[in-house]
Amino acid sequence: MLADAGLEISLGKMSALWTGTPTTIRLDDLDVFCHVLGCQPTDLLVPEPDKVAARKQQPTDKGAVNDAPGVVKPRFGPNDRPAPPV
């Protein structure tokens, strides 16, 4: 039914959708799912406010902000790497 509606989905992605909580879903794909199932996105999506609250950055020390979870640290480029120890 999904293919008839214009959505061809890989076996791996279908397995992830079927067996657990997918990490992502494209909004275009969600539209096709809703069309095929005759439902609204709110019928398929479940809010999880506890997970959102857990992702908030809560540094324990003002000086340790860079070590807090969720903080992106820059990577060195190929010409910016420190020299290896001698």
Is the pTM higher than 0.75? The answer reads no
The verdict on residue 65 lying in a domain is: no
**32 closest CA partner among 3, 75, 61:** 3
The domain containing residue 16 runs over which residues? 1-48
**Region of 38 on the Ramachandran plot (φ > 0 left; ψ -120 to 50 alpha; else beta):** left
Separation between Cα atoms, residue 74 and residue 70, nearest integer Å? 13
Number of domains in the chain: 1
The verdict on residue 80 lying in a domain is: no
* pLDDT by position in tens, the chain (length 86): 888 888 888 888 888 888 877 778 889 989 999 999 999 999 988 888 888 788 775 555 555 555 556 676 666 666 666 666 76
The verdict on residue 59 lying in a domain is: no
